[in-house]
Structure 1
């Protein structure tokens, strides 16, 4: 299994080699495994002051037109992809929403044994994520969501990370949809988000997390759908109809805010929280459950970086990639990298784990994936995404032992850092340990899970 223990110094050295680039300088090496000062390249900064992260529920890359699907599910996203930078080989770190939340915003991976991080005492630690890093720069914030912030301890976790304003399902007046179990619809969420972002535009820079929910069972959709229902995909028809509706609501949001004064000062980051199973199962890891789009829209982004990137990334790369566009040195301990300041020959990497009791882990690098089931030999595959996804077993590769050591080292080092509470962005650990003792009551109270985790 992955838990085969490497010497601590070796595991740290391998992990640092994976994560550090020419723009990073390690600090506090005796205290923290990967804390570093990151100096983004000056030519990578964009003329933006605000950040809006849009976490799209179940937005599977397999059914995104801009990523190769011919099913016509995401015409609005495809149109938006035409004006931004789209990452083609981007993956969720897990297969449930709460993992997508903490990986994307707190910059910490989905680890075996800690996938419910937001609901555990360890979730009370401070992480070197967007709330910490932008809070330190005096950004205002808002988190707008269709559902209940008690689910998965979202309010407790993100409040502890430093977010201050939360707009959830009980804060909507006369929503188009109000499901007693679930919440309001995506169009309600995006309408409210447009209002909230307008209010935030009052002098200080701001960041926001907008999270959709309609594309999740039991699918909170309006009775009169503004899109055609999807047919011809059997058991997936309802799911894909909800995805098409979410895509429509996303397009409506951009149409609504495009002419606002703050729009051209804002970096938009549109990312899926996870995918879902499709008829094609790419390796026993089922990569299509992880493959999601990552789209950056901002003034100057395509002129500087182009419109497509094949580098592999996962949600833990979101925060460093955002910080690189804002510019200025930042001290952080993200478990990912700025995807836009890597050497041209770097294929990228990502480490993923499915939700639930399955302890399988995988390392994705370039067009290959090393799958490590628990207590079984690892298997290496070449994979293909897009309209005709597939996986092909590679019988023998010279670098397979090295890939396996990298996978084990990263998981071992991140787990040790979590347990020792050394994953914050502070220069010393005494303060970090004091925070650990103040785990919010919401964490201790075992907050409710969403009605159907996913």
Structure 2
């Protein structure tokens, strides 16, 4: 045996470990490129305003953490098992690496609907769905090229792993030398593994989390390119998402902000309330909100909503508090924004919680929630009941009504088509005793972006955005709903609220920014004309719905909501808050958007003038490029945001979401 052969035999264990880790890095790099290409429209400016070296540095740090987590078992097997187990080790490595690749590529598609890397909450989110295999099958066919790439990479990994495991196969070293080689490999790998998982070497380094990705990019939406899905899921296993940040003492906190809304004086108005939550109906799709787009020629895709807009109370800037359907429900119906994770996927969902149905139920209102999907879908039924809705009407109840087409009206994937279900909704309300509060959550303007067979020639794909035809269909369904509602005895005594659960695929750059991704419509329509109409020049958010409605009705009891009564709050005191998928809070007030990482400001933009959020007013040294009076406003806004966060966390942790 030559000296070179002896050296190779001695180092064979370390070489096999090193080459397997290197191969894993290559797979993660490949997955990141595929992720970028699949969503390139969202990341059009990523290389123009970010340092490529910083992007690479951040990507390597998070990939290192994921590679160490996913390869720790493989390294132990290489070090501890005899060579006769090499094939089994290659199988384990290929399966683990293939799973990591599949998670990343699958998330490249799912990102289009969430705007973030997937975390462990996804298992709770879809726990009650019976059509997941059908949806996954449809996505595989639609994105067949990703499936093919995954298969080719999977096969290449298997072949390369087999070749790597063959290095030093016929070692003639003494047993003590082989054992020493393996022990040395393990001793060197362990500290590297721990440091890699944590994101650094020193004891002062906190283990990196999802939010750390923001330090490598200018826009929070771009942080998903720094992250990888295995890391995001591993880091959120069993995490308690809520904790009190203790920014202020309780006494100081009470002077800055409180989510407690006090009773309104005067005799209560006993009007019906109808809340229309329309799936994925982003503000961009409604022409009336966007007469400045395309040189004033933009018409949108919702002519009926344009007409309703003219008859309603509307606002200059309107935002969702989350990016998913399960975020919309608590925000719209209970005044609870989504911070960190969807509220009813966390342990805090077991807290006592109220909402528009629960509060009005105290005053004799009947309440019902409508959703055309399978009963129990998305956890909507459970949340509706928890917040005070007395009855729930879903696909089952629709199928029992002989006036409608039953299962013939099922879209084959999610729910009953919007047109028949909204007619069912309108007719059922005529059977209810007044006053009542009801809500409906539509479903047709949703992936897989299809319309009923009889409308396929009416609503065709007119551009590259597949949701536009669905928006036109749902807009038509809403028009027919109001045509039916106008004929009902309860109509004139009803306040209608229109919003969407979240946004969807955007065409215009301003709706692809960190703030634009939350651009949802919000309208209040009172057929009697008693509630004010017209456009208010202020900021509005979904969590304002509860206090605005209860304020208008002169609700006589205190309640909790993280929003304001838009009809009784000065425009300069209105605000909106949300939480990005990469760990940043966004706070909109006055002229400015603040991005806050939980400890300090990350960015400040004048969102009214800088609509594409290209000029961060926060300089590298932490100072603001603004006059003193404007700096004082932003400091006050930061204090208010901290107070909003602290009150939210305290009430979640201590089960204080209702006034007892």
Q: TM-score range by the shorter chain?
A: 0.7 to 0.9
Q: Displacement of 1:40 after TM fit?
A: 5.5
| Aligned ranges 1:287-302 → 2 under 5 Å | 287-301=515-529
Q: Please tell me whether residue 90 in structure 1 is matched to residue 318 in structure 2.
A: yes
Q: Displacement of 1:68 after TM fit?
A: 1.4
Correspondent of 1:55 among 277, 295, 318: 277
Q: Displacement of 1:392 after TM fit?
A: 4.9
Alignment check: 8 A CA contact 2:263 2:554 kept: no
Which residue of structure 2 lines up, in the alignment, with residue 423 of structure 1? Answer: 657
- CA distance in structure 1 between the aligned counterparts of 2:608 and 2:381, rounded to whole angstroms: 38
Which residue of structure 2 lines up, in the alignment, with residue 450 of structure 1? Answer: none
Alignment check: 8 A CA contact 1:148 1:183 kept: yes
Could you say if the C-alpha distance between residues 72 and 278 of structure 1 is closer, same or farther in structure 2, counting changes exceeding 3 Å?
A: closer
More helix by share: 2
Q: Displacement of 1:130 after TM fit?
A: 0.7
Q: Displacement of 1:400 after TM fit?
A: 2.6
Which residue of structure 2 lines up, in the alignment, with residue 144 of structure 1? Answer: 370
Q: Displacement of 1:213 after TM fit?
A: 0.8
Which residue of structure 2 lines up, in the alignment, with residue 272 of structure 1? Answer: 500
Alignment check: 8 A CA contact 2:370 2:441 kept: yes
What SS class does the counterpart of residue 605 from structure 2 fall into? strand
The one-character-per-residue Cα deviations of 1:65-112 (angstroms, maximum 9, x if unpaired) are 110151430101111112111223111100111111111111112112
Which residue of structure 2 lines up, in the alignment, with residue 382 of structure 1? Answer: 606
Q: Displacement of 1:177 after TM fit?
A: 3.2
Correspondent of 2:533 among 289, 296, 306: 306
Q: Please tell me whether residue 410 in structure 1 is matched to residue 644 in structure 2.
A: yes
Which residue of structure 2 lines up, in the alignment, with residue 329 of structure 1? Answer: 556
Deviates more, 1:190-199 or 1:163-172: 163-172
Which residue of structure 2 lines up, in the alignment, with residue 231 of structure 1? Answer: 462
Q: Please tell me whether residue 155 in structure 1 is matched to residue 396 in structure 2.
A: no
- CA distance in structure 2 between the aligned counterparts of 1:3 and 1:394, rounded to whole angstroms: 29
The one-character-per-residue Cα deviations of 1:352-371 (angstroms, maximum 9, x if unpaired) are 113x4x21210011332112
The one-character-per-residue Cα deviations of 1:226-253 (angstroms, maximum 9, x if unpaired) are 7432423x2x2x1111111111111110
What SS class does the counterpart of residue 141 from structure 1 fall into? strand
Alignment check: 8 A CA contact 1:178 1:184 kept: yes
The one-character-per-residue Cα deviations of 1:340-386 (angstroms, maximum 9, x if unpaired) are 0113x5341111113x4x2121001133211225777421112249x
**Structure 2 runs not aligned, ≥5 long:** 1-210, 212-242, 292-297, 400-404, 618-624
Which residue of structure 2 lines up, in the alignment, with residue 367 of structure 1? Answer: 591
Q: Displacement of 1:136 after TM fit?
A: 0.5
Q: Displacement of 1:278 after TM fit?
A: 2.1
- CA distance in structure 2 between the aligned counterparts of 1:229 and 1:245, rounded to whole angstroms: 10
What SS class does the counterpart of residue 94 from structure 1 fall into? coil
Correspondent of 1:9 among 240, 246, 250: 250
Alignment check: 8 A CA contact 1:57 1:272 kept: yes
- CA distance in structure 1 between the aligned counterparts of 2:602 and 2:637, rounded to whole angstroms: 10
Number of aligned residue pairs: give it. Answer: 394
What SS class does the counterpart of residue 431 from structure 2 fall into? helix
Q: Displacement of 1:180 after TM fit?
A: 3.7
Q: Displacement of 1:319 after TM fit?
A: 0.6
Correspondent of 1:129 among 332, 355, 379: 355
Greater relative contact order, per chain length (Cα 8 Å cut-off, separation 6+): 1
- CA distance in structure 2 between the aligned counterparts of 1:267 and 1:35, rounded to whole angstroms: 24
The one-character-per-residue Cα deviations of 1:34-81 (angstroms, maximum 9, x if unpaired) are 434231578xx8x65200000011111112111015143010111111
| Aligned ranges 1:242-261 → 2 under 5 Å | 242-261=470-489
- CA distance in structure 1 between the aligned counterparts of 2:442 and 2:449, rounded to whole angstroms: 11
Alignment check: 8 A CA contact 1:60 1:288 kept: no
Correspondent of 2:579 among 345, 349, 353: 353
- CA distance in structure 1 between the aligned counterparts of 2:251 and 2:585, rounded to whole angstroms: 20
Larger Rg over CA atoms? 2
Query: Structure 2 length as normaliser, TM-score?
Result: 0.56
Alignment check: 8 A CA contact 1:268 1:298 kept: yes
Could you say if the C-alpha distance between residues 401 and 378 of structure 1 is closer, same or farther in structure 2, counting changes exceeding 3 Å?
A: farther
The one-character-per-residue Cα deviations of 1:3-54 (angstroms, maximum 9, x if unpaired) are 86412326623552xx5xxxxxxxxxxxxxx434231578xx8x65200000
The one-character-per-residue Cα deviations of 1:413-446 (angstroms, maximum 9, x if unpaired) are 21111110011122xxxxxxxxxxxxxxxxxxxx
Q: Displacement of 1:222 after TM fit?
A: 0.4
- CA distance in structure 2 between the aligned counterparts of 1:77 and 1:332, rounded to whole angstroms: 31
What SS class does the counterpart of residue 558 from structure 2 fall into? strand
Q: Displacement of 1:142 after TM fit?
A: 1.3
Query: Structure 1 length as normaliser, TM-score?
Result: 0.80
**Structure 1 runs not aligned, ≥5 long:** 20-33, 427-454
Q: Displacement of 1:339 after TM fit?
A: 0.6
Q: Displacement of 1:119 after TM fit?
A: 3.0
- CA distance in structure 1 between the aligned counterparts of 2:346 and 2:335, rounded to whole angstroms: 17
Could you say if the C-alpha distance between residues 304 and 192 of structure 1 is closer, same or farther in structure 2, counting changes exceeding 3 Å?
A: closer
Q: Please tell me whether residue 190 in structure 1 is matched to residue 422 in structure 2.
A: yes
Q: Displacement of 1:410 after TM fit?
A: 1.0
- CA distance in structure 1 between the aligned counterparts of 2:409 and 2:261, rounded to whole angstroms: 46
